[in-house]
Structure 1
Amino acid sequence: MLAPTHLIAGQAAFIAVSLSVGHAPTLPEAWLAAAAALLPDLDMRHGVVGRLFPWLSEPLEYRFGHRTLTHSLLVCVALALLLWPLLPHGIWLALVAGYASHPVADMMTPAGVEWFWPARWRCVLPGNERFRMRAMGWGELIFAALLGAATIPLLGMAQAKPGTGSVIAAAIGDIGAARARYDAEKGTNRWMLRLEGRDNLTHADVSGDYPIIGPWQASGFLIDTPAGPQSVCRTGDCGWYADSAVAVKQEALATTTRHINTPHTSPAALSAALVEMQAMGETYLIGSLTARGIAPQAPTVSVSGDTVSLTYASPEVLEAWGHRALRDLLLTVQVRHAPDEPVPAIELNQATGSVIPAEIRPWLHEHDRISRHR
């Protein structure tokens, strides 16, 4: 096939794959996919790419021949595995989809490709040679035109967030796959969980769309519901059981973290330090501290003895802690806000941070009363 047809096929393959996995393609990624679709022709020294890299194309063509090594499934898989840990998800998707589109398109020509190289079998699509396309023929021209026309609605569907989501993920509805996608792409967008499930205690139906607060345990989610935060997974350990779950990417946002490591403070001082961050966006507390008399609030606040663990807890939980002394704070404060907005540092007011323990406060009040009557 000609280079223009491969350019169109590379973009179409990238957009179709993006739609299937729920990735919103960008214009630079589409250009990259088109360029990657030309790379397999490195094994042809007179081709568009071969002329740019003659030092590589000539030995490849001489040693292996055209439509062999660089057009094989082996190279496509090797490229995908090699680039997976090195590149952002969208760029990786563009390179792999664009590259793989080339040998698939070349299978539609009479000669086919050695897809299973080093085996010498020539793979073709379709099996009947009368329906394969010859280079520069009317068949290739019509194929390129149809492919280009189909790309436009596919692009619109792939970019239609949050309504479209991932076609494959929606068909499977596996919460493990939803969590894997969320873990791979979290941090730059708001997320929503499209859930079909039931309450583990009452068995009531809880299906609906819920904002994702964060991850929960190994393969679940912490979501925001009208009744407060709720844990969702596929076991009885969570508040809700997920029969089907799809993670859907929504509008862009930025995530900024600040850290609190202090030996002591008070709920009032901590709340005051978080006011500016709360004004910027959704703010959560993650980590641990030591305090007495704190009541657990599942699933975000758990208590074991005097140790309090916070898992994406809202700063509002501090209001119920009264004047208790908070000690040994190791907290991460996460705020999700509009992109490009600077987030201030956290400054604890140590003048109000020290708290008299509740156990001795009545004795101090009694001492003051006696002193006044002397």
Structure 2
Amino acid sequence: MLAPTHMVAGQAAFVALSLAVGHAPSWPEACLAAGAALLPDLDKRHGVVGRLFPWLSEPLEYRFGHRTLTHSLLACIVLAMLLWPLLPHGLWLAVVAGYTSHPVADMMTPAGVGWFWPARWRCVLPGNERYRMRAMGWGELAFAAILAVATIPLLGMAQSKPGTGSVIAAAIGDIATARTRYDAEKGNNRWSLRLEGRDNLTLADVNGNYPIIGPWKAAGFLIDTEGGPQTVCRSGDCNWYAESAVAVKGERQETLTRHIDAEHTSPAALMNALKPLEASGEVYLIGSLTARGIAAQAPSVAVSGDDVSLSYAEPRVIESWGARPLRDLLITVQVRHSPGDTVPKLALSEETAGVIPAELRPWLHEDDKFSRDR
């Protein structure tokens, strides 16, 4: 097949795969898929890519022959494995889809390809030679035109409603698969969880579509509901049990973080510091601090003695902390906002009034009134 046909086939394969897995394709990614679709012809010294890298194409063609090693299933698998830890999800999809489309399209020619190389078999598609396409023939021209026309509506569907076309994810409905996809693509979009399940305590159905706040443990989610944050997983350790779960990518957003590393402050000062950030978007607190008498608010606020752990806690939880001093703050403030919006810097005043110095704490009895009041 000709290079333009392979480029069109590479773009079509990438868009179709993006729609299947719920990825919103971009034009740079589509262009990359078109370029990757030419790479298997590195084993042809007179091809478009072969002429760019003669030092590689000539020995490949001489040693292995055309449509063998670089057109094989083995090459596609090795490429996908090598690039998986190196490329972002969208770029990885583009390269793998574009590259793999080339040998699949070449199967539709009379000569076929060595798909199962190093075996000598030549794979063709379809089996009847009368229906295969010859290079530069009318069949190849019609094939390229059909792919180009079909790609346009598929691209619109994948870009306008990312996640709703996640055919594979929807078919599986496994929360571990949903979590894997969320971990790979989170950050630049809002996410929701299309859930079918039940409450582990009341056994009531909890089917619905819920905004995802963040990940929970190894394979679960923290979601926003009318009754407050709830944990979802496929075990009895969470609030809700997921029988079927699909992570759905929504509209674009940006995520920015600010950091708090302070020895002393107060709940009032912390709330005042967070107010400008709340005006910019959704704010969540992740980290730890030390304070007396703070009540746990599962699942966002966990308390063990004086140690307080925050897991995607909203700023409103601070309102119930009263005026008690806060110490040893190590908190990441996550701000999710609309693209292009400016997020102000975080200015936290370090308050020491009423805070017992660390050197004196070992000398005070835990039940000492002075200790409790301070």
TM over 0.5: yes
Instruction: Give the structure 2 partner of residue 354 of structure 1.
Output: 353
Matched, 1:81 2:81: yes
Deviation string, structure 1 residues 119-139 (Cα, Å, up to 9, x no partner)? 111111112222212222222
Per mean C-alpha deviation after superposition, the further-off stretch among 239-248 and 158-167 is: 158-167
Matched, 1:201 2:207: no
Whether the 8 Å CA contact 1:284–1:312 is kept in 2: the answer is yes
Matched, 1:339 2:345: no
The CA deviation at 1:115 is 0.7
Distance 1:225 1:204, change over 3 A: same
Per mean C-alpha deviation after superposition, the further-off stretch among 93-102 and 133-142 is: 133-142
**Whole-angstrom distance in 2 between the partners of 1:110 and 1:343:** 60
The CA deviation at 1:345 is 2.8
Residue correspondence of structure 1 range 164-203 to structure 2 within 5 A: 164-203=164-203
Instruction: Give the structure 1 partner of residue 330 of structure 2.
Output: 330
Amino acid corresponding to residue 132 of structure 1 in structure 2: R
**Whole-angstrom distance in 2 between the partners of 1:213 and 1:22:** 19
Secondary structure, counterpart of 1:271 in structure 2 = helix
Whether the 8 Å CA contact 1:266–1:354 is kept in 2: the answer is no
Matched, 1:306 2:306: yes
Whether the 8 Å CA contact 1:265–1:355 is kept in 2: the answer is no
Instruction: Give the structure 1 partner of residue 361 of structure 2.
Output: none
Instruction: Give the structure 2 partner of residue 38 of structure 1.
Output: 38
**Whole-angstrom distance in 2 between the partners of 1:324 and 1:233:** 35
The CA deviation at 1:162 is 4.6
**Whole-angstrom distance in 2 between the partners of 1:87 and 1:360:** 58
The CA deviation at 1:191 is 1.0
The CA deviation at 1:293 is 1.6
Normalised by the length of structure 1, the TM-score is: 0.92
Aligned length: 363
Runs of 4+ in 1 over 6 A off after TM superposition: 361-364
Residue correspondence of structure 1 range 116-131 to structure 2 within 5 A: 116-131=116-131
The CA deviation at 1:54 is 2.1
- Which runs of 5 or more residues in structure 1 are unaligned? 365-374
Instruction: Give the structure 2 partner of residue 151 of structure 1.
Output: 151
Whether the 8 Å CA contact 2:280–2:342 is kept in 1: the answer is no
Per mean C-alpha deviation after superposition, the further-off stretch among 119-128 and 97-106 is: 119-128
Instruction: Give the structure 2 partner of residue 244 of structure 1.
Output: 244
- Which runs of 5 or more residues in structure 2 are unaligned? 357-367
**Whole-angstrom distance in 2 between the partners of 1:275 and 1:328:** 21
Distance 1:350 1:108, change over 3 A: same
The CA deviation at 1:144 is 1.7
Instruction: Give the structure 2 partner of residue 367 of structure 1.
Output: none
**Whole-angstrom distance in 2 between the partners of 1:337 and 1:153:** 30
Normalised by the length of structure 2, the TM-score is: 0.92
The CA deviation at 1:263 is 2.0
The CA deviation at 1:53 is 2.2
The CA deviation at 1:362 is 9.8
Secondary structure, counterpart of 1:350 in structure 2 = coil
Whether the 8 Å CA contact 1:284–1:335 is kept in 2: the answer is yes
The CA deviation at 1:240 is 0.8
**Whole-angstrom distance in 1 between the partners of 2:267 and 2:3:** 66
Whether the 8 Å CA contact 1:44–1:57 is kept in 2: the answer is yes
Instruction: Give the structure 1 partner of residue 282 of structure 2.
Output: 282
Amino acid corresponding to residue 158 of structure 1 in structure 2: A
Instruction: Give the structure 2 partner of residue 138 of structure 1.
Output: 138
Percentage identity across paired residues of the two chains: 75
Deviation string, structure 1 residues 218-238 (Cα, Å, up to 9, x no partner)? 000001111111111111111
Whether the 8 Å CA contact 2:23–2:163 is kept in 1: the answer is no
Whether the 8 Å CA contact 2:23–2:90 is kept in 1: the answer is yes
**Whole-angstrom distance in 2 between the partners of 1:182 and 1:329:** 29
Distance 1:275 1:359, change over 3 A: farther
Distance 1:264 1:142, change over 3 A: same
Deviation string, structure 1 residues 81-115 (Cα, Å, up to 9, x no partner)? 11111111111111110011000000111111001
Amino acid corresponding to residue 5 of structure 2 in structure 1: T
Instruction: Give the structure 2 partner of residue 51 of structure 1.
Output: 51
Whether the 8 Å CA contact 2:115–2:123 is kept in 1: the answer is yes
Whether the 8 Å CA contact 2:264–2:355 is kept in 1: the answer is no
Whether the 8 Å CA contact 2:13–2:101 is kept in 1: the answer is yes
Distance 1:362 1:317, change over 3 A: closer
Matched, 1:318 2:311: no
Amino acid corresponding to residue 126 of structure 1 in structure 2: P
Whether the 8 Å CA contact 1:45–1:58 is kept in 2: the answer is yes
Whether the 8 Å CA contact 2:113–2:124 is kept in 1: the answer is yes
Instruction: Give the structure 2 partner of residue 268 of structure 1.
Output: 268
Whether the 8 Å CA contact 1:165–1:248 is kept in 2: the answer is no
**Whole-angstrom distance in 2 between the partners of 1:108 and 1:75:** 19
Instruction: Give the structure 1 partner of residue 359 of structure 2.
Output: none
Secondary structure, counterpart of 1:225 in structure 2 = coil
**Whole-angstrom distance in 2 between the partners of 1:4 and 1:348:** 58
Whether the 8 Å CA contact 1:323–1:355 is kept in 2: the answer is no
Distance 1:290 1:362, change over 3 A: closer
Per mean C-alpha deviation after superposition, the further-off stretch among 172-181 and 337-346 is: 337-346
**Whole-angstrom distance in 2 between the partners of 1:220 and 1:121:** 45
**Whole-angstrom distance in 2 between the partners of 1:363 and 1:89:** 53
RMSD over aligned Cα atoms: 1.9
The CA deviation at 1:350 is 2.9
Amino acid corresponding to residue 354 of structure 1 in structure 2: A
**Whole-angstrom distance in 2 between the partners of 1:354 and 1:133:** 83
Distance 1:165 1:307, change over 3 A: farther
**Whole-angstrom distance in 2 between the partners of 1:218 and 1:43:** 44
Secondary structure, counterpart of 1:297 in structure 2 = coil
**Whole-angstrom distance in 2 between the partners of 1:141 and 1:223:** 50
**Whole-angstrom distance in 1 between the partners of 2:213 and 2:279:** 18
